[in-house]
Amino acid sequence: MRALAWHGKHDVRVDNVPDPGIVNPRDCVIKVTSTAICGSDLHLYDGVIPTMQAGDVLGHEFMGEVVEVGPKSTLTKGQRVVVPFTIACGGCYHCNKHQYSCCPNGLPADNQDIARTGFGQEMSGLFGYSHMTGGYQGGQAEYVRVPFSDVGPIVVPDGVDDDEVLFLSDILPTGWQAAEYAQIEPGDTVAVWGCGPVGLFAVQSAFLMGAERVIAIDHYPHRLDLAARFGAERLNFKETDVYDALMQMTGGIGPDAVIDCVGLESHGVAFDNIVDRVKQATFLGTDRIHALRQAILACRKGGRVSMPAVYGGFVDKFPLGAFMEKGLTLKTGQTHVQHYMPALLNAIMEKKIDTTFMISHRMPLEQAPEGYRMFSEEQDRVTKIVLKPGLAA
């Protein structure tokens, strides 16, 4: 079959790779009908995520039609399903607590050493996201093997378009969880750094959870305008001193909750960021946290910091003093996708959440390398790319 494979920094190609099949009893195989390029795929594209190997098939936001089932799968051929990017068994201690992204049972034991060493414990397996997360083949492909198909994939009702539900796989639950982790109280002001797809869903979710004001921060005018569609106020950090503006807009108090939707490639224009960049390039340090630093300094005393953004390693100049002195609370983590899928599917069906507005491009799988280049280089115009393996190239 055809699939988008990683070959190195800024080098992805559509290759012929072996067809997937049923390996374990609870597996299914789906024929992919839609699969998106995620902002976190750009971390792979930029070569800042370790443990990638040439030939790894990318993609963790995907959906499709069930074409093969193992003896313990509860799905049937022909069903349309959206697949969570986190591979979780549904029955272990963590899954019973709905901490699906902490499930250790989907991560091959040989791949657990890396996270054990780096993080202290292993995390769940993920599709198409390096060998630290299992080395699973991803969904930017014609077909995918899906483990634990009896508990992960959610069946989509007939008559619902792929584009409406595809983002249940990752970014919608991620944006929702980010807002939930901000513990929003009615009347709150919430500031969101980064108006990529996760940030845009966090903006929508924050309003639905009762935020009175949401302030969106980015440097791409078009992305800021998308946030404004939902009522967010816009701050462009290229033309505005963000801290100064936030203090004035909140009467000197600061936002009650701050959400970092930027992550480890944060592009601030400041000295600390240049130092980070040099260290990242020379492998002396890893993650660049300019947005997070600014969020912590701006957050009101006793406020909440929510961090859906992806970080992989260590950081420098984390403002621990500000964090401690102001008595902030930080909540973060990979998304427990399975926990949120059913309620969010309902919210989509009831038209409470708009999911399709951010899709700027739809293209055949064969054009995926061009999609990566565009998404990486033209972020103002290109907000979300959905690949359709069924479309003629």
Binding-site ranges for other proteins (CB under 8 A): 17-26, 72, 87, 89, 91-93, 104-113, 116, 122, 125, 134-137, 145, 147-148
Phi, psi of 78 (to 5 degrees): 95, -20
Closest separation in Å from C-beta 111 to other proteins: 8
Contacts of residue 329, Cβ cutoff 8 Å, sequence gap at least 6: 183, 303, 304, 305
Q: Three-state DSSP class for 313? A: coil
Nearer to other proteins, 104 or 303 (CB): 104
Q: How far is the CB of 184 from other proteins (least distance, A)?
A: 32
Q: Which is nearer to other proteins, 147 or 196 (CB)?
A: 147
When the beta carbons of 148 and 230 are compared against other proteins, the nearer one is 148
Contact 37/45 with Cβ under 8 angstroms?
Answer: no
Helices H / strands E in the chain, number of each: 13, 18
CA dihedral (380, 139, 88, 40) in degrees, to 10, reads -20
Minimum separation from the CB atom of position 131 to other proteins (A)? 8
Could you give the 3-state DSSP secondary structure of residue 127?
Answer: strand
230 and 276 Cβ atoms separated by less than 8 Å: no
Pick 105 or 236: Cβ nearer other proteins: 105
CA distances from 200 to 38, 145, 154, 267 (A): 13, 30, 23, 18
112 or 376: whose CB is closer to other proteins?
A: 112
Give the largest Cα separation in the chain, rounded: 61
Q: Give the nearer residue to other proteins in terms of CB position, either 108 or 342.
A: 108
Instruction: Provide φ and ψ at 68, rounded to 5°.
Output: -155, 140
Q: Which two tokens stand for residue 38?
A: 């995620």
Comparison of 133 and 204: residue with beta carbon closer to other proteins: 133
CA separation, residue 166 to residues 44, 62, 169, 302 (Å): 21, 6, 6, 37
Cα(308)–Cα(292) distance, integer angstroms: 11
Q: Give the nearest distance from C-beta 239 to other proteins in angstroms.
A: 46
Q: Which residue lies nearer to other proteins by CB, 142 or 287?
A: 142
Please give the helix or strand (H or E) that residue 62 lies within, else none.
strand 61-69
